[in-house]
Copies of this chain bind each other. A is one copy, B any other.
């Protein structure tokens, strides 16, 4: 039974993601993303589940920077988790009696319409995480009447769900990834994604265009690009790329070898099945069979055969 570290405490959306990614895993809650990843790095866990990006908030920069700078880890699975906030309270609490609500600031932002409509007079206080808010509310002497958190937090802390899916947008999604220490990659499934970190060799005009051309000329489609500061001053960045395909695909391999040649450093972060099951759009001339045929042709040409 694998043991997976995650961003805790119990009841976070990350725990929910972990349970969907690996229902049988033993769960090790950690205080921070860094702590969860370090647990995997040091062998305290077999892997870790952390958030990578959210469709409203954007990238989880701690995760990006850990992947870029920390001891290497490889992503081997991803999950897209709808973010559904519930209004949770101790059993017996009624909506009309809620005067003080506790939750994470992101939840305050994302549930603004519900709060102003249903809880116009409530005071809403910031908590370190939604799960911590639920935990606090579950304490008998808590000064708070309700928490806004994941349903799973309610289950953990014995709270009842007074309202469900109270976010302003019902389609908010967080993308989670499961990582492990370097190990054999998941096999290509035909619907895969690959993630890289790329540092520039020198920051000349056109460097980003050159990187993108390495992808496009081999028909590799980007699905995400994020710039992050290198720490060496404003104007110096490195890049995270997600793109269609598996590193075992010929077009992907040639593209990232091209990046490796022209860039300062390329860190491979994994090839893994896409959570959405979307198949790549393969441009004419870039399928594996076409690469193989071209390789055979080149061998004949180099041998002086017609």
Binding site for B on A (CB under 8 A): 53-58, 61, 72, 74, 80, 169, 171, 173, 175, 182-185, 201, 205-206, 208-209, 212-214, 216-218, 221-229, 231-237, 247-248, 253-254, 256-258, 260-263, 266, 268, 281, 284-286, 290-291, 293-295, 297-298, 301-306
Told that A57-B229, A261-B293 touch, could you supply 7 new A-B pairs with CB distance under 8 A? Answer: A58-B61, A58-B227, A72-B306, A185-B304, A206-B216, A257-B295, A258-B294
With beta carbons under 8 angstroms apart, the residue of B74, B218, B293, B301 that contacts A256 is B301
Measured between beta carbons, the chain B residues less than 8 angstroms from A262 are 284-285
Q: Judging by beta carbons under 8 Å apart, are A237 and B213 in contact?
A: no
With beta carbons under 8 angstroms apart, the residue of B171, B225, B258, B303 that contacts A217 is B258
Which secondary structure characterizes the binding site on chain A?
A: mixed
A221 to B206, CA, bound (A): 7
With beta carbons under 8 angstroms apart, the residue of B212, B223, B260 that contacts A294 is B260
What are 17 A-B contacts defined by CB distance under 8 Å?
A54-B229, A56-B229, A57-B229, A58-B227, A171-B233, A173-B234, A175-B234, A185-B302, A214-B217, A217-B217, A217-B258, A224-B237, A254-B254, A257-B294, A258-B285, A260-B293, A261-B290
- CB-CB nearest in chain B for A250: B261
- CB-CB nearest in chain B for A207: B222
